Structure 1
């Protein structure tokens, strides 16, 4: 275990306690408590600036936090400066992130985007990574787009490729930021069914969304943030 982490007692997908985070002189999160069980879909809602995306960034170790605890399974993040990326490999294997803008690499095909993490994080051969990536793309209904570049994908296709990439290391926790923002109603329903399937496979999903209908239909629980803490 790296000095940047400690062993946690929690066996759930995520446990956050008394979380505080600041940006410059502004306090974004103010004593946030949040639990997420394995197999659960939790939607996080609230007005812009409430701290929703900051929660995801802190849990994914993309942004530091000033105090509190963040436990992913038996791994606990420490407050303070972020450790070097080379020390975050255990976390990267446990936490997958789907960004609002997809953040796919434009110079790589859909298949190559999904292959990237297994090759560099797990040391898989290109052949093994390609086979696993193709299976993920097929499971999400975009196998026929494997050789397409991001600019050639529709919003829904890019979203599903981004999910496949996030699942490439088989994480126990999946974080999604506004996943329905670029989807039409049919694609939104398809994404919802995929979300339920991923949870049934034994993952915890934490989804930031403004889409109240999506949250009501597909989440097990909805929490509403206001001024950096849970209001309801």
Structure 2
């Protein structure tokens, strides 16, 4: 596969025919999706529709059973024998933030950000700490550098997790329901950081139940249900005038709560 196969001038992520199964259970099948450089795509839908698994397949935390994924010209084809070196190159482009913060409790906040840089990028301790402090300042937590995660609120820990992901200089950020484990006020802290990332031009795919974020921050919304893409288009158009009956039921349920 050539480096730019199937990529248009601004197309940054291309997914073709992506399929994932667990035994006889089909999580999703034949997913096709393009994401442009700098785009913020919100992925919403009922639980169990395959949203989180889709994100995990994009950076090969889960191995898809079929299909192609191309990120910034680096392609991996699950229909062939997966090239692990190519897979690592693709992963180096992608940062991910999970529902749980996954911080090392025995390391200080700054060391949680320094360690991945040294292990993955080979940065010196000084350079990694400088980068870590820049990012902690960016997420409003420079004063927490020498604290331990247990001394930080849930919202602060999630912002630290975002700083840790950014420290590896990804081209794309994947967010898997980053506010779902937080109470509403702490969730707002995290959403503020994500809005700043969106304004800075970061390409982002966000699985979320935050309907305001989906409509007002993301350019496009993708709605999944039962392993299929039901609708995909401009955020306000999809959110305010859904065409599919299943989409209408889902949006009515979340807005009526």
Q: TM-score, normalised by structure 2?
A: 0.81
Secondary structure of 1:231's partner? Answer: strand
Relative to structure 1, the CA distance from residue 89 to residue 67 in structure 2 (aligned partners, 3 Å threshold; closer, same or farther) is closer
- Counterpart position of 1:196: 195
Q: Which residue of 1 aligns with 2:117?
A: 118
Which stretch of structure 1 is more off in the superposition, 26-35 or 176-185?
A: 176-185
Give 1:194 deviation, angstroms: 2.3
Task: Name which structure has the greater RCO, CA cutoff 8 Å, separation 6+.
Answer: 1
Q: d(CA) in 2 for partners of 1:82 and 1:209?
A: 30
Q: For residue 225 of structure 1, what is the aligned residue in structure 2?
A: 224
- What value does the CA root-mean-square deviation take over the aligned residues? 2.0
Quote how far apart the aligned CAs of 1:200 are. 3.4
Q: CA deviation at 1:83?
A: 5.8
Task: Show CA shifts across 1:94-130 (max 9, x none).
Answer: 1000011011122211111111222111111101100
Gap change, CA 1:201 and 1:14, over 3 Å in 2: same
Contact 2:42–2:205 under 8 Å retained in 1:
yes
Q: TM-score, normalised by structure 1?
A: 0.89
Which runs of 5 or more structure 1 residues have no equivalent in the other structure? Answer: none
Match of 2:3?
7
The residue that corresponds to 2:162 in the other structure is 163
Larger Rg: 2
CA distance in 1, matches of 2:210, 2:198: 19
Instruction: Return 5+ residue gaps in structure 2 as ranges.
Output: 232-257
Distance 1:88 1:30, change over 3 A: closer
User: Any idea what SS the aligned residue of 1:108 has?
Assistant: coil
1:216–1:210 distance in 2 versus 1, CA, 3 Å: same
Give the corresponding residue for 1:79: 78
Query: Residue deviations 1:156-179, cap 9 Å, x none?
Result: 101100000110121110000111
Tell me how far 1:150 sits from its aligned partner: 1.8
- Give runs of aligned pairs for residues 80-229 of structure 1, distance below 5 A: 88-229=87-228
